[in-house]
């Protein structure tokens, strides 16, 4: 095998490939990426990363003097090409599977493996296909992925719930302490109904590769896998098996207290409170933020071993006064991931031991599907985003 790549193009492909390839697995062929020259077309190299659960595939332009197929450690190759000077990078592999990676007078020699040792990939096709602009999928994922669990013992909480219904894509994240819901329209009409639990780790990689543009992304559902195609990359992962929680039952149908508040003012006050609630140097990382709704004023306070904080912001409130405590980080993350258009928020509460719903006060944002009044009666999620966050016990 003897192939030449453009350094910048190779780095652009190897960076996401190295993120997919497992760095914890002891199997060399799973830690590595598969380079196949030629790829799907002449003058290209197919690059594949796969850790038996999730994977990525793309084709990279190159000059092929001698075709071949090898497996090379992802992190090693990425570090080497980043260390080499700008220009054309040549990868030459001999019969003993020793690879020389060079640019100009600089070169490295490393061991590689035959491409036949790479694990077999799942069939990258399915019977349900959905195409939408990347900015729409990017928006709906950004408003929910932060609420997806990480290494939760309940496997379904480690994924985002995708549901297609009535030509809309709903995405839900839940980690047991909060629920984040968002939706976007699916173009074309007559999109088949479906649901799946998509692992958060792969979804995070896809999110990083999506652009805030009208370029299409195609989502394909197979029986056990989901495939994301965003040219020139194809991402795929095994779905999480199990039944997702009935998140709708957490959302209250009525409320005793309704509050309208400036999103920037509330977010800034909560971020100041995190200096106390996340005070690791003070030895306390579990302090809560106390919210006191009284009249048209919201008082925010927190106390930890390292100090205390206090803030006041104006609100418009109807219903009962209320004192309630929250994990400050959960509130901050909800507000940080709200749409930029959400200048005013509506909070709805039912008491100190029941959660708060956070949504945009003025309805849906500019990129959201806005149902008519009759539709709103049947659809509880008419806004771009909705968060439901459980409180904490404050004690006496």
The structural domains of the chain, ordered by start, are: 2-117 (3.10.150.10), 128-247 (3.10.150.10), 251-389 (3.10.150.10)
CA 209 to chain centre: 10
User: What pLDDT is recorded for position 253?
Assistant: 84
- CB atoms near residue 346 (< 10 Å): 19
Which of 61, 56, 118, 59 is closest to 89 using CA atoms?
A: 61
DSSP string, 296-360: TEEEEEEEETTEEEEEEEE-EEEE--EEEEE-HHHHHHHHHTS-TT--EEEEEE--TTS-EEEEE
User: What pLDDT is recorded for position 25?
Assistant: 55
- CB atoms near residue 173 (< 10 Å): 26
- List, for the chain, all residue ranges whose pLDDT scores fall below the cut of 70: 22-30, 279-286, 362-383, 395-396
Place of tokens 């998509």: 198
User: What pLDDT is recorded for position 67?
Assistant: 95
> Cis omega before residue 116 (within 30°)?
no
- For residue 342, with 0-12 CB atoms within 10 Å meaning exposed, 13-18 middle and 19 or more buried, which class applies? buried
Task: Tell whether pTM > 0.75.
Answer: yes
Contact 277, 329 (CB under 8 A): yes
For the segment 16-65, what is each residue's pLDDT rounded down to a tens digit?
Answer: 999 998 655 555 556 789 999 998 888 999 999 998 899 999 999 999 99
């Amino acid at each position: 095998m003897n192939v030449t790549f453009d350094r910048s193009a190779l780095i652009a492909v190897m960076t996401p490939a190295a993120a997919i390839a497992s760095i914890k697995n002891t199997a060399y062929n799973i830690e590595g990426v598969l380079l196949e020259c030629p790829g799907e077309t002449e003058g290209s190299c197919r690059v594949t990363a796969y850790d038996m659960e999730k994977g990525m595939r793309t084709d990279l332009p190159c000059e092929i003097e001698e075709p071949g197929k090898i497996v090379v450690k992802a992190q090693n190759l990425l570090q080497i090409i980043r260390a080499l000077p700008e220009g054309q990078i040549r990868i030459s592999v001999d019969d003993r599977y020793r690879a020389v990676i060079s640019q100009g007078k600089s070169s490295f020699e490393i061991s590689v493996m035959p491409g036949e040792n790479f694990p077999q990939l799942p069939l990258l096709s399915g019977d349900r296909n959905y195409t939408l602009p990347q900015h729409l999928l990017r928006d709906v994922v950004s408003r929910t992925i932060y609420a997806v669990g990480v290494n939760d013992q309940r496997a379904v909480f480690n994924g985002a719930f995708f549901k297609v219904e009535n030509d809309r894509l709903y995405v839900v994240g839940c980690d047991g302490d909060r629920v984040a819901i968002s939706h976007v329209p699916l173009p074309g009409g007559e999109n088949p109904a479906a649901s799946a639990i998509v692992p958060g780790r792969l979804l995070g990689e896809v999110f990083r590769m999506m652009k805030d543009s009208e370029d299409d992304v195609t989502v394909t559902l197979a029986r056990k896998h989901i495939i994301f195609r965003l040219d020139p990359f194809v991402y795929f992962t095994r779905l999480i098996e199990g039944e997702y929680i009935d998140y709708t039952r957490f959302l209250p149908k009525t409320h005793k207290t309704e509050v309208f508040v400036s999103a920037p003012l509330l977010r800034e006050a909560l971020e100041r409170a995190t200096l106390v609630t996340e005070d690791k140097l003070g030895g306390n990382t579990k302090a809560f933020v106390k919210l006191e709704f009284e009249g048209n004023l919201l008082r925010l306070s927190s106390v930890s071993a390292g100090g205390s904080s206090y803030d006041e912001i104006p609100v418009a409130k109807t219903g009962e006064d209320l004192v309630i405590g929250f994990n400050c980080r959960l509130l901050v993350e909800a507000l940080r991931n709200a749409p930029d258009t959400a200048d005013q928020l509506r909070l709805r509460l039912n008491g100190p031991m029941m959660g708060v719903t956070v949504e945009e006060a003025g309805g849906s944002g500019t990129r959201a599907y806005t149902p008519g009044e009759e539709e709103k009666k049947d659809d509880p999620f008419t806004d771009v985003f909705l968060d439901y966050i459980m409180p904490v016990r404050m004690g006496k």
